[in-house]
Amino acid sequence: MGQLYDMLTEDARFSESLKACMNCGICTAICPAAEFFDYDPRQICDMVQRKDENEIETLLRSETIWLCGQCMSCKARCPRGNAPGEVITILRKYAQKLGYYDEKIHEQQYRISATQGRHILETGYCVHPDIVYPELHPEQGPIWKWYTENIADLAPKMGANYHGEGPGALRKIHQKNLDEIRKIYEITGGLDLMEKLTEE
Amino acid sequence: MTKRYWNAYQKEIAEDHYFYERSCIRQTFFPGSEAAFLRIMREELHKDIKDEANQHTCTGIGYHSDIVPLETTMTVVARLFSLMQEDGYTNYVPSCVTSFGIFSEMIDIWEHQPEMLEKTRENLYKATGREFAIPSNLAHPSDIIYKFREELKKNMKYQLVNRFTGKPLRVVEHVGCHYAKIFPERGIGNAEFPYVLAGMIESWGGEVVDYPERRHCCGFGFRHYLLQENRGYSIANSKKKFESMEPYEPDFIVCNCPGCTMFMDKWQYTIAEMENKTYDKEGYGIPVLTYEEMAGLLLGYDPWELGLQIHQVQAENLMNKIGIKYNPDEKYRGVNGKILPKPERPSVLKQ
């Protein structure tokens, strides 16, 4: 067994995600990413379970593992109970850990981490209307633009507590909660990953 | 044999005393749906449900976009469970389907690998001084509405019936992937035959449209939507679904996942702008509702308090078909009746 394969098996999710794939290809047949991109989860599972060090390194360095959309349709259909989408998550984790990604993927992960990742720590939300800027989201359409321009008047009508104290949708998340989230990030490696991803 | 078969597709849903966890996406795009859920629970079903001020994101979108490590998400989840415990609850109800998948996954890992549970307890205590208990019951709000669908029906003023033809409305139900595809046993009807929304539709007078791409993903794709250059993946998957459902002429679409609801609403606008194409005959688009909006409308709640005016595909035609009474003058008013400017009209999609 190779060093890279052993490393993948150390992840807590690995043992439940890949158990003797029989290469039937149902995962690829059902996969929305396989339909849109040049992408084949069956092949990825096969490459991992062959335990060939060079193949796994090629996979870790490839753009392929970044094409999965994480819908996990593959998990529902696999007759062996495997979760190719979860194998992808583990491969991505180690690709980032080892720095095995090209400039394009690095720049993409930088962008996600520098925007959404930072937003989680600063506001306590993954998504919030204040950061879904209509100019960056033309697909959201004119009603989204109208909503964001009038949110202080519209959100309370729908029962939200926009930037308010206490419970409710879109409330201000109190600093003591943000401090605890940051501390969790610090202790569990979340901050280290953010720092790595946002390195210039 | 039949009985045993269906037993495999049921799940236990707590009767009362719930801890509600809000969703980042749902608060952003459908705040009225969360308000409607709490109103339904308290005013229609007379249930006890806690809306905790100190709750926060589960980090789910970051986790599936690979910018948050497993151990971090796991410990953030543990903090949310700690808040539940602190408030004296054991039944956890996450508003978001992504969160529902995240909680299911973390609990599954803890059940299979007790050392991960111990490590999480240690990390949470070290970071915050907190302790936590795993919920005794985990249910999505759509599970709860499904469970009490017959009780709610008694309070409903309207049915999912076309008042002009007397025929049931034809409804496309879209169940979010992370509701049952990761852990089929946690969803009503499993991953292949999810009945959570279909059960509501049938109980409330409608007819479920069974179309070829019924189980296909809406195309969110996590990192794919977050990256502008990858949004083609997202819209292409929704388009595939629209093309597949179009021949069945659905009256509306209902979803239990906030991301799916938003994408299936907004991508209809984008496709109309890009290709001059709508998926209904009249050019208005197919309205996309959350299950709380569907239930709220039938219960007679104000559509503008539910938030239907912030959907890109407007729902007046649907409300007219059902015979729902509403005040059009209230549509573009804010809280306290303030008159607001009207939104721009799309160039293709009729409003």
**Chain B: nearest CA to A40, how far in angstroms?**
15
Contacts of residue A127 in chain B, CB cutoff 8 Å?
24-25, 28, 61
Q: What is the pLDDT of residue B7?
A: 61
Torsion sign, CA atoms B24, B29, B32, B34: negative
**Chain A: nearest CA to B302, how far in angstroms?**
10
A58 contacts A18 by C-beta, under 8 angstroms:
no
| Option in B25, B181, B344 nearest A73 (CB) | B181
Contacts of residue A90 in chain B, CB cutoff 8 Å?
none
B241 contacts B218 by C-beta, under 8 angstroms:
yes
CB contact under 8 A, A188 and B71: yes
**Chain B: nearest CA to A124, how far in angstroms?**
5
B241 contacts B250 by C-beta, under 8 angstroms:
no
B254: phi then psi, degrees, rounded to nearest 5: -125, 140
| Option in B57, B74, B217 nearest A125 (CB) | B57
**Chain B: nearest CA to A52, how far in angstroms?**
25
B301 contacts B39 by C-beta, under 8 angstroms:
yes
Q: What is the DSSP string of B233-294?
A: HHHHHHHHHHHHHGGG--SEEEESSHHHHHHHHHHHHHHHHHHS--SSSSSS---EEEHHHH
- The residue type of B14 is A
Q: B147-337 has which fold? A: Rossmann fold (3.40.50)
**Chain A: nearest CA to B297, how far in angstroms?**
14
Q: What is the DSSP letter of A116?
A: I
A175–chain B Cβ distance below 8 A for any pair: no
Counting as low any pLDDT under 50, the low residues of chain B are 1-2
The span from the CA of A40 to the CA of A196, in Å, is 29
Query: Taking CB atoms and an 8 Å cut-off, how many pairs form between chains A and B?
Result: 265
B54 contacts B128 by C-beta, under 8 angstroms:
no
CB contact under 8 A, B27 and A188: no
Task: Please say if the pLDDT value at position A55 is more than 50.
Answer: yes
Task: Please say if the pLDDT value at position A102 is more than 90.
Answer: no
CA distances in angstroms from B346 to A143, B269, B272, listed in the order given: 9, 8, 9
CB contact under 8 A, B181 and A72: yes
CB contact under 8 A, A177 and B56: yes
B82–chain A Cβ distance below 8 A for any pair: no
For residues A61-69, give the mean pLDDT.
Answer: 97
Contacts of residue A97 in chain B, CB cutoff 8 Å?
none
Q: What is the pLDDT of residue B19?
A: 98
How many other CB atoms are there within 10 angstroms of residue B333's CB atom?
17
The span from the CA of B79 to the CA of B56, in Å, is 9
CA distances in angstroms from A52 to A57, A59, A143, listed in the order given: 9, 11, 52
Contacts of residue B36 in chain A, CB cutoff 8 Å?
159
Query: Residues 86..125 of A with a Cβ closer than 8 Å to B: which?
Result: 89, 92-93, 96, 108-109, 111-113, 115-117, 120, 124-125
Q: What is the pLDDT of residue B1?
A: 42
Measured between CA atoms, the residue of chain A closest to residue B268 is A139
The span from the CA of A138 to the CA of B215, in Å, is 27
A158–chain B Cβ distance below 8 A for any pair: yes
Q: What is the DSSP string of B35-72?
A: HHHHHIIIIIS---EEE-TT-----HHHHHTTSS-HHH
C-alpha radius of gyration, chain B, whole number: 20
ipTM for this model = 0.97
Residues A143-194: pLDDT tens digits? Answer: 999 999 999 999 999 999 999 999 999 999 999 999 999 999 999 999 999 9
Residue reference for tokens 């290709």:
B275
Residues A33-54: pLDDT tens digits? Answer: 999 999 999 999 999 999 999 9
Contacts of residue B124 in chain A, CB cutoff 8 Å?
184
CATH architecture of B15-141: Up-down Bundle (1.20)
CB contact under 8 A, A184 and B124: yes
Contacts of residue B226 in chain A, CB cutoff 8 Å?
111-112, 115-116
Residue extents of the structural domains in chain A: 3-98, 103-197
| Option in A13, A112, A184 nearest B65 (CB) | A112
The span from the CA of B60 to the CA of B68, in Å, is 9
B292 contacts B37 by C-beta, under 8 angstroms:
yes
Query: Residues 191..230 of B with a Cβ closer than 8 Å to A: which?
Result: 191-192, 215-217, 219-224, 226-228
| Option in B22, B222, B342 nearest A70 (CB) | B222
Q: What is the DSSP string of B268-284?
A: HHHHHHHHS--SSSSSS
Residue extents of the structural domains in chain B: 15-141, 147-337
Q: Beta strand pairing status for B252-255 and B288-290?
A: parallel
Average pLDDT across chain A, whole number: 96
Q: A3-98 has which fold? A: Fumarate Reductase Iron-sulfur Protein; Chain B, domain 2 (1.10.1060)
